[in-house]
Structures are given as C-alpha cells and as structure tokens.
Structure 1
Amino acid sequence: MQRTVNFFREVGREMKKVSWPKRKELTNYTITVLATVIFFSVFFALVDMGISELIRLILE
C-alpha cells in the first residue's frame, strides 16, 4: 500500500514540473491537427475513389 501512495506522490510532483501549453498555443495546435486530419481524410477518400474507378474500368 505504501508503494502505491509513494507512486501517486511522485506523480503529483512530476505533474507540477510539466510545462503546460497556454490557451493560444493549445488552440493553434488543435486547429493544426484538425486541418491535417481533414486534409488527409479528403486526400485518401479521393485516392480510394480513383483506385476503385480504375479497378472497375479494368474489370469491365
């Protein structure tokens, strides 16, 4: 039990050392991640549609 208590005390100490991003940084990072995910989703959807059409043309 003492090891568990010590573990959580250490976790608390380490969490105080963490450099958390400011609100503006967090907003910028979130927008960057969302834009990247949307871009790659659209990109791979278009590539998938193109490959599907190519396969349909070959098989017909």
Structure 2
Amino acid sequence: MAKELGFFGKISKFFKSVKSELKKVNWPNREEITSNTLVVIVTVIALITFIGLIDLTLSNIITPLIS
C-alpha cells in the first residue's frame, strides 16, 4: 500500500516534478532571443503607429461633426 504524503511531502513532490519538467524544456539560445525580441519591438511600434494614425484620422473626422 502506498504511503500517504503529508502537506510538505506533496509540496516536495510538486517541486521535484517541476524540476524534472524544466530539464525537458528546449531553451532558446542568445540569437533566438535577440531575433524574437526585435520582432516583438518592431510589431509593437507598427501597432502603435497604426492605432495612432487611426485615432488621428477619426478625431479629425469626428471633431468637426460635434463642434
């Protein structure tokens, strides 16, 4: 019969399984991290520009209508 784990035994088992799973992770290298970071930064800048232009256009259209 399997021995029942107490509260701290369950916590210990959880952290051991987390450690085991983290060993299986395929961690990215420096070049991949740099490349992915640049993609994110360029995408954010493009979205900021796009949303800003839409906001500016809509505010120029709507402001004369309500004043």
TM-score range, shorter chain: over 0.9
The alignment's TM-score, normalised by the length of structure 2, stands at: 0.85
Match of 2:54 among 47, 52, 58: 47
- DSSP 3-state at the match of 1:21: coil
Match of 2:45 in 1: 38
TM-score (normalised: structure 1): 0.94
Secondary structure of the residue aligned to 2:27 is: coil
**How far 1:42 moved relative to its partner?**
1.0
Gaps in structure 2 of 5+ consecutive residues: 1-7
The residue identity in structure 2 corresponding to 1:59 is I
Structure 1 counterpart of 2:4: none
Compare CA radii of gyration and give the structure with the larger one.
Answer: 2
Q: How does 1:1-60 map to 2 (within 5 A)?
A: 1-60=8-67
Task: Note the residue ranges of structure 1 that are not aligned, 5 or more in a row.
Answer: none
Count the aligned residue pairs.
60
Extract structure 1 runs of 4+ deviating beyond 3 A.
none
